[in-house]
Amino acid sequence: MTVLAYGVAGWLLLVGVFGVARSRALVHAVVCLSVAQSGSYVLLVAVGYQRGAGPPLAGSFAGPLVDPVVQALTLTDVVVSATVTALLLALSLQIARRHGTTDPDDLTGLKG
């Protein structure tokens, strides 16, 4: 079970990077990067999980609570992912406008 839970995180990372490596469009590459990053959410939440524990709200649950530290880190992670995705999409738009293509293989030479 341990290997499976953390393995999902590793698989998401690898499959996302695989998507970036074989991408034929920049928007596709940006989405693949988001998939790769979502591996880190799964890893963090999996690290903080405890069987039978309640949500990290004090007083809401009689037993132990799951680890709030990694949940806070996941929130930071999601915010970073969202803002970087917006920035990269804006960049892709500019590239499409200036070079007329979003295929990374066609974006070779530098242009002044």
Partner 1 sequence: MSRRLRLWLFAVGAAGVAVLFLAAVLRMPEFGGVVHPLRAAVLDAAAAHRTPNVVSAVNYDQRAIDTFGEETLLLTAVVGAAALLRGGDDAPPPRPPRTMEAVRAVAYLVLPVTLLLGLATVVHGALTPGGGFQGGIVLGTAVHLVYLVGGRAALDRVRPVTVYVAGEAVGTAAFAATGLAAAATGAGFLANVLPFGTAGSVLSAGTVPLLSAAVGIEVASGVVVLLAGFLRQGTAGDEAAG
Binding footprint of partner 1 on the chain (CB under 8 A): 1-7, 10, 13-14, 17-18, 21-22, 46-51, 55-60, 64-69, 71-72, 75-76, 78-80, 83-84, 86-87, 89-91, 93-94, 105
Distance, CA of 109 to CA of 11 (rounded, Å): 34
The minimum distance between CB 1 and partner 1, in angstroms, equals 6
Q: Which of 73, 55, 78 is nearest to 65 (CA)?
A: 55
The minimum distance between CB 75 and partner 1, in angstroms, equals 6
Residue 103 dihedral angles phi and psi, to the nearest 5° = -80, 120
